[in-house]
Structure 1
Amino acid sequence: MGPKKQNRPQGDNQPPQQPQHQQRGPPPGLQQPRQPQQPRQPQQPQQPQQPQQPQQPQQPRQPQQPQQLQRGPPSGLQQPRQPQQPQQPQQPQQPQQQQRGPPGFQQQPQHQGQQQRPPGFPQPSQPKQPGGSWGKQPPQNQQQQQPQQQPQGQSQGQQQRPSGFPQPQQPKQPGGSWGKQQPQQQQQQQTTTTTTTSSSPAPEIPKVSRKDLVRDDDIQDVAITPAKPRSIQSQPISVITNFFPVVVRENRSVFLYRIDYDPPQVARDRRFKLMREFLATNSSAKYDGDSLLFSAQRITINSQHVDGVQILIKLAKELNHKDKSITQFFNILTKSFMRLMKFSLIGRNYYTPVGKRDIPKHFLEVWKGFSTSVIPTEAGTMLLCDSTTKVVRSQTVLERIKYLNNNPNRCAAEIVNSIVLTRYNNKTYRISGITWQGQNSKVTDIMEGKTTFLAYYQKNYSIRITDMSQPLLKSEVKMRGVKQTIYLIPELTFLTGLNDEMRKDFHIMKDLAEESNVEPYKRIETLSNFVNGFNSNPAISEELKTWGLSYQQALKVDGCVLQAPKNIQINNSTALKNVRWVFIVEQNEFQRGECQKNLDLFIRESQLLPPIVHFPVLPKSIRDIKSNSYTDIMEKEVNKGTTFFLIIIPQNNAEVYKGIKMKSLIQYKVLTQCIFSRTFDKGRPVSIKLKQQVVAKLGLAPWGLGQDIYKGVPKKTMVIGIDVGHNSDMRGHSVVGFVATIDDKFQKFFSRAYAQNRPGKEIIDTLEDATKEAMKSYFNHNNCLPELVIVYRDGVGDGMLDLVNKTEIAAMKKGFAETPSSWGTKPKLVYTIVKKNTNARFFTNDNQKANPPPGTLIDSKITHQNWYDFFLVSQVAFKGSINPTHYHVLLDEHQMAADLFQFFTFQMCHLYFNFEKSVRVPASCQFAHKMAFLIGRTVGRNVAPELSDKLFFL
């Protein structure tokens, strides 16, 4: 394989996660709610001036986060106060009208900054007033002793995070002192002086608005593949991909038209209805639902009146098969093919109940479907197609509510934040709350005008609602760009996905695995038959002829297989001899010979000294067991110097696990390993895995890698893994996991979690603070700064690449620049986006069509023609078809050869100490994912700083 073309432009295994779905709008046919009046921005009161105190210089304004990422929280959750926007021209007031309905019932949008934080979290502080003074931060040593202390004042636009997480720091001032305010002019001059050794100046994080965002395919100013020869030995391999070439006859053109409506039409369903009538004589044209129309022939008219609306048509461009915009048309066309084949859009993929698999004993259905996307690649335009499944409950939400005895707390725990499907229109919604009877909303209420819920469903869907006492489900959706509350009927909705109880059921997971884990040869056969079905379908075949299109067979690509490193076991017996630890187990359980036998086996494997054994007093019923039965013992032992606890906990009692983790990680500042008795009884295999986890938690490395790991990278290299977890129980707040290596063997770590200000936010607004903390930890361990920092950034959603490129990289560089110059030269940066949930699939190009081996690298043909990117298979798939991981290098200041960076990335996948084989992403990235999951789902706040150098989350 040659390099890419150089002429480019610039504690326990967690359950599988269900894919996230977009929140859908109202069913077609329902009148859209009127635009609510926007509340006027309240004028901030001025604080009285204090003549006795000199006025502080104005704090430099913090960069404003882009408007499009401000996703509103569920009802009742505080949105952080945003910086005051320039006054907009006053809109004419609309008459107030209360509307209700599955979609249609809306609540007046609340003013940003006027809601309340979740109970127990600090409320947003008022922005600084003119003439006011800012709170002084404590000295650095005091900050370390009191990491949770909040500054008395915050700059405009900053918000407080949920309690227990680091608050945004004041920028470090020149001369190495933190927290002192300097006059702005003097500060700028001194900053220039103290950063002369930096590889790049401290850039300001740019402000990016929605209109400035670009599609991922069109991103610019990113790294290109270095033009350096290959030096890494590898074995060649040929694979079949699930990329199907789209061939367009060169003499065919597609006409792109701009569509406008007079008067403007806000409702998407209304626009589609008008366009269908307009296109009655031009059925081959495809409309995007907004303002673009693609046609195979020229349209000779400029306007036409339809149902009292004037439709204006203007030719924008004549497209050929090489235009970038052509992929948008191909995707619209493919979606129309899916509808012709009777597939329904659920979330982002298309499914059909035809041929569904029923699992009646679990009240589940498995729908089969496909994901499709037309994308540009080095080898041309490709249809990326993969098979997928959707788990849908056969029970309605109402039936589930009755099963839970109409208990509001139990129902909220299971239904709120879940995704439901409405089968009458095959749309999905995320539930934000439940409105019970007596809370001003019920099925007999009027939605709008004189239409009730009952009449609406009877008229539009011929559905008769039978239960008049059922509650209503609340969902937050965007209509006309404004977040509004709609109400759904439990009798007509179905939960999707699995709850925690189902995930713990071995029989359910086994039955589902038989449906979802499709063997490789069956998957590629299914995909090939599906794409070939486009030609065999008469309606689709006719459209393909009209547009001059055809699909070829699955693309074959040549790649290589990188050599895996050899794990070198490390003897930690000397360090482990000094560990004082406690084993907590129920007395009857311990007196069984099997438990003592397994404990002795674990002691031999781990080389720990024999533990102190404690027997908690537990009630007979598992449900009555509380965490304090264990934590009371822990508290006494912590005072005696115990630093590690191995605890046998009851099955299916999440509250016990949560209570132990919160006390140990926040209050006691010790490490724990919780394990079920059933798991502990499995003997040697579990003892070996348990030994690896415990050794890693204690800050030691079970194994290391050879010297080959340093090919192309300096020994003073820091590897940072970042992931954003949205599966948080903290009222929807996302949690950022940040894990950085701080030694030259990549075996010691600095870890920290950060809460995002707004629910579902993907762009990290604490990266500058995290970078400065990581630099400080590295310096304390090595007495210097790293020469190179390699970042593996996971958790970036589609469409976010440009924003990450413009904000997060700038924030990290600013963090580098603001470290004291006495610490050494600032590091160079390599910033890489990691996407492990890609739809790409690889199959060996032979008769078996099996999964390719770990180390399989593909960096040509299916990669992007303007990117420095590659696909890497680093793990073994024990069942089903393997998923390669997609890496995209946004910034490369080190300019190492591409094959050296690819090899280094593969090596990093072998240092995840919770699994003896390689994993899908570099170890630091997987560590960050595990930490974000534990903090978001169990602990709810950051852990004690004393544990930041331990892998407490394994």
Structure 2
Amino acid sequence: MVKANHFLAKISKEDLSQYSVEVTPEVTSIKMNKAIMTQLVKLYRDTDLGMMLPVYDGRRSLYTAGVLPFITKEFTVTLVDGDELIGITREREFKVTIKFVAHASMLQLRELLSGKQVGAPQEVLKIIDIVLRELAAQRYMSVGRFFYSPNIKQPQTLGDGLQSWRGFYQSIRPTQMGLSLNIDMSTTAFIEPLPVIEFVTQILGKDVCSRPLSDADRIKVKKALRGVKVEVTHRGNMRRKYRISGLTSQPTRELIFPVDEEKNMKSVVEYFQEMYGFTIQHSHLPCLQVGNQRKVNYLPMEACKIVEGQRYSKKLNEKQITSLLKFSCQRPREREMDILQTIQQNTYNQDPYAKEFGITIDEKLASVEARVLPAPWLKYHDSGKEKACLPQVGQWNMMNKKVINGSSVNYWACINFSRSVQESTAHDFCHQLVQMCEVSGMEFNCEPVIPIYSARPDQVKKALKYVYNVAANKLGGKELELLIAILPDNNGSLYGDLKRVCETDLGLISQCCLTKHVFKISRQYLANVSLKINVKMGGRNTVLLDALSWRIPLVSDIPTIIFGADVTHPDNGEDCSPSIAAVVASQDWPEVTKYAGLVCAQPRRQELIHDLYKTWQDPQRGTVTGGMIRELLLSFKKATGQKPLRIIFYRDGVSDGQFYQVLLYELDAIRKACASLEPSYQPLVTFIVIQKRHHTRLFASNHNDKTSTDKSGNILPGTVVDTKICHPTEFDFYLCSHAGIQGTSRPAHYHVLWDENNFTADEIQSLTNNLCYTYARCTRSVSVVPPAYYAHLAAYRARFYMKPDVHENGSTRSTCTMNGPCVHPLPALKEKVKNVMFYC
């Protein structure tokens, strides 16, 4: 038995009602709309609303438990609005029309929860979700399905004007045990509510009160402050709020503006002194620009303070990420206690809205039956002392073992880009790495083609081409096979530049090592690097013993190819960067450990993989057929001599709402790719979606029972749950395939959306768990099935192949058209790179 952070929700059987809401004059702010509706309910609940307490989505829909005593009715609501600019209050009148739309039947939800094959009643689930969020939204800062507050736990400073807030996630979902409320803890970054000058001091890491900002400083500050809300502090209790649109290029003392229609000019310094009696002390600093393009207002930095409760949505730096992870990392026992405390603090069963709609929430974690799947035996080379290995609690090591297929490296070189690593240290590191590769079963020339070369980090391309050409001249026609690069810890874009030049320009396999690891050369680190090098050079580290003895159900019986696919999307702020799709496929049936990978760019934020199958017109050849699936099927046949008769497709990164859109499109692409090879060729397909970004956590029933947890206090690797908290009718399961390291383990959620191979639950769960022990980069089982993991790595790697231009504001730029960004194809990988697991 394990516990899950799901809480049983019981609901009334009565149908619900939906009403449309129209506010005149129109209001676009959800916050203002809710204020209007709150006032309306306060004024009319006891009379026109028939004592009912409705919930409102802040836009156009109102929901009630039962029906209101009218079909349509217009209400008048008056809000008192304080206008700080003129120092008086004023009344604003709104007309609100509420009109009956439809009944929301509970029948479909009851049928779904009883196990009948019906579509999820999204409208009813949405209403229940709104009801349970209503009170929380009044108490906390709402961000999507998350709620945050500085009062839940003391905020921690992250540096550069940011702090972390603790909060919780809340979602209602249908499960086999009934409706379930999923609650999980969360931490995210907020902008610290500092005086603007103090914020700027933190951003730049220096005192700004005594000297003007340089152009570079100004651009950095402008980028950090754009879009941030501030409140003025120079007018006593009148704290009017503004959103920053920019920063002036001149210092405050040089700024003048027209004060009337005759274009009479006044300086900002004079205006603030005369109008507010406020003396600007730091007139050497630029002013904040607030307002719109037509009417720009200037505000001195020293007269502004950042408004509390603004979530930071841009990319964090490494130091901030480390601090945030440290603050958010919770052991399972601690996380479980915080979740239970959140349930009690939210008092769902005293919530007037929940009572109105007949919803009660169980305050105990769901208790769920689980199984622990056994670890598979792994096969290593017969020349090692240990020919096979049975992992213990999700991990093992390379002591006394040799990789099952060792690659050979005859011609290699090393470039040291780190100024803190001396030549002797780099030489010692390379020597130890070569020894580890040989001990692991690789053939590795002990001497580089040329002596270790030191280069500046800002001259990557020049250094790479120099080493490549000098090595080529020395080898007399033979090619350099491997490049080892030692990078500084703070390597910025160096890693991306290096990968791009090596893999798209030179056709080199590269292995990067960071300075901190070079200084601290542990046996485990060297072993992991040697494993990566082996697979990058075409070798294999280990295979499942059952694969060699043809004992894997629905894999060993007929030629089977296993695909992994993922799409990575650009970070916030990268307005025109494309999304990157990657697909990998096994090439070594029956062992299924070696994967070829393909990547492509596609329109940003598009989850469907466009290049799975495609046709185009060629002037010479006519209609040409291609695409990633077709190419990988052909390479499988070339590698194994057989065409696959079964396809298992693991698809990562798809949200619940996109399941069937992705399935229909991508299954159709797989079908067309197969038929393009041979009209009658239709192998059986199993299509599985993997989700990691969910909020289900599993806890041991007894945290003191060491036999049911790993060293970190998490559930054991191989723990699988496929009842109670899973979908009422669909084929899904949660699998925690890895041992915890720190924090609380997150099980992967697998959804079998399509299965022509008729896997039993045992078979697909066992296969997935066993594959997790074949990940090439380490001697641990991993949290996600390796083909999906490899696809993610390949897509992440491909982002470095793009060469973004950078605007003054720091956002990336690519060619954009009226119809959206123009997607430039990624530079082609060299054949020598493409045919190995270069992304590992």
| One of 542, 554, 557 as aligned partner of 1:703 | 542
Cα drift, residue 938 of structure 1: 5.4
- From 858, 881, 890, the equivalent of 2:744 is 881
Give the letter for the 1:561 counterpart: V
Within 2, Cα distance between the matches of 1:828 and 1:418? 54
Is it true that 1:496 corresponds to 2:312 in the alignment?
A: yes
**8 Å CA contact retained: 1:259, 1:314:** no
- Counterpart residue number, 1:121: none
Supply the AA of the counterpart residue of 1:566: W
Residue 776 of structure 1 corresponds to 634
Give the 3-state SS of the residue equivalent to 1:299 in structure 2: coil
Q: Distance in 2 between matches of 1:495 and 1:400?
A: 18
Q: Does 1:785 align with 2:554?
A: no
* Mapped partners of 1:287, 1:445: distance in 2: 44
Aligned position for 2:710 = none
- 2:485 corresponds to: 647
Q: Is the CA contact (8 Å cut-off) linking 1:365 and 1:393 kept in structure 2?
A: yes
- Give the letter for the 1:688 counterpart: A
1:529 pairs with 341, 353, 358, which one? 341
The superposition leaves residues 157-210 of structure 1 with CA deviations (integer Å, 9 ceiling, x where unpaired) of xxxxxxxxxxxxxxxxxxxxxxxxxxxxxxxxxxxxxxxxxxxxxxxxxxxxxx
Is the Cα contact below 8 Å between 1:260 and 1:312 reproduced in 2? yes
Offset at residue 542 of structure 1 (A): 3.8
Instruction: Indicate the structure whose relative CO is greater, using CA pairs within 8 Å and at least 6 residues apart.
Output: 1
Name which of 16, 19, 23 aligns with 1:254.
Answer: 16
TM score, norm. by length of structure 1: 0.64
Mapped pair 1:898 → 2:761 = yes
Compared CA separation, residues 651 and 262, structure 1 to 2 (3 A) = closer
Please tell me the residue identity of whatever aligns with 2:496: K
Equivalent in the alignment of 1:761 = 606
What percentage of aligned pairs have identical amino acids?
A: 20
Deviation at 1:338? 1.0
Deviation of 1:743 (Å): 1.9
User: Over aligned residue pairs, what C-alpha RMSD do you find?
Assistant: 4.1
What is the aligned counterpart of 2:438 among 591, 595, 604?
604
Q: Partners of 2:291 and 2:770 in 1: how far apart?
A: 47
The residue that corresponds to 2:588 in the other structure is: 743
Q: 2:505 aligns with which of 656, 660, 667?
A: 667
Would the alpha carbon gap of residues 623 and 591 (structure 1) be closer, same or farther in structure 2, given more than 3 Å must change? closer
**Superposed counterparts of 1:192-591, under 5 Å:** 238-250=1-13, 252-260=14-22, 268=30, 271-280=33-42, 281-282=44-45, 284-301=53-70, 302-306=72-76, 307=93, 309=95, 311-314=97-100, 316-317=102-103, 319-320=105-106, 322=109, 324=121, 325-340=123-138, 342-354=139-151, 355-359=153-157, 364-394=162-192, 398-399=200-201, 402-403=204-205, 422=229, 437=249, 469-470=286-287, 492=306, 496=312, 502-503=317-318, 505=319, 511-535=323-347, 540-552=350-362, 553-570=364-381, 571=402, 576-577=407-408, 579-585=410-416, 589-591=422-424
| TM-aligned CA deviation for residue 626 of structure 1 | 4.5
Does the CA contact (< 8 Å) of 1:909 and 1:923 recur in 2? yes
| Displacement after TM superposition at 1:731 (Å) | 3.9
- Distance change (3 Å), C-alpha of 1:590 and 1:614: farther
* Match of residue 949, structure 1, among 812, 835, 840: 835
CA apart distance, 1:332: 0.7
- CA 1:711–1:435: 2 relative to 1, 3 Å: farther
Report the AA paired with residue 611 of structure 1: E
Q: CA deviation at 1:716?
A: 1.2
- SS of the equivalent of 1:721 reads strand
Change (3 A) 1:433 1:544: closer
Aligned equivalents of 1:945, 1:844: Cα separation in 2: 49
Which residue does the alignment assign to 2:818?
A: none
Structure 1 residues 814-857: Cα deviation after superposition (integer angstroms, max 9, x where no partner): 22222235xx7331211111101210000011243842111111
Would the alpha carbon gap of residues 596 and 259 (structure 1) be closer, same or farther in structure 2, given more than 3 Å must change?
closer
Q: Cα offset for 1:889? A: 1.5
Give the C-alpha shift of residue 765 in structure 1: 1.6
Cα distance in structure 2, aligned partners of 1:311 and 1:249: 28
Residues 474 and 909 of structure 1, relative CA distance in 2, 3 Å threshold:
farther
- The alpha carbon displacement at 1:910 in A equals 1.6
Return the alpha-carbon distance in structure 1 between the equivalents of residues 220 and 188 of structure 2. Answer: 22
Contact 1:367–1:389 (CA under 8 A) maintained in structure 2: yes
Q: Distance in 1 between matches of 2:224 and 2:798?
A: 18
Contact 1:419 1:495 in 2 (8 A): no
Residue pair 2:585, 2:632 contacting (<8 A) in 1 also: yes
Residues 1:733 and 2:572 aligned together: no
Is the strand fraction higher in 1 or 2? Answer: 2
Deviation at 1:472, TM superposition (A): 6.0
Q: Tell me how far 1:631 sits from its aligned partner.
A: 3.4
CA distance in structure 1 between the partners assigned to 2:219 and 2:653 by the alignment: 27
Match for residue 387 of structure 2? none
Aligned-partner residue type, residue 149 of structure 2 = T
The DSSP-based 3-state class of the residue aligned with 2:53 is coil
Q: Is the 8 A contact 2:200 2:221 kept in 1?
A: no
Shift of 1:806: 2.8
| AA partner of residue 717 (structure 1) | T
Equivalent-residue separation in structure 2 for 1:464 and 1:902 (angstroms):
70
The residue number in structure 2 matching 1:818 is: 676
Contact 1:912–1:918 at 8 Å: present in 2 too? yes
**1:326, distance to aligned residue in structure 2 (A):** 3.0
State the partner residue of 2:687: 831
Query: TM-score, normalised to structure 2's length?
Result: 0.72
Amino acid at match of 1:580: Y
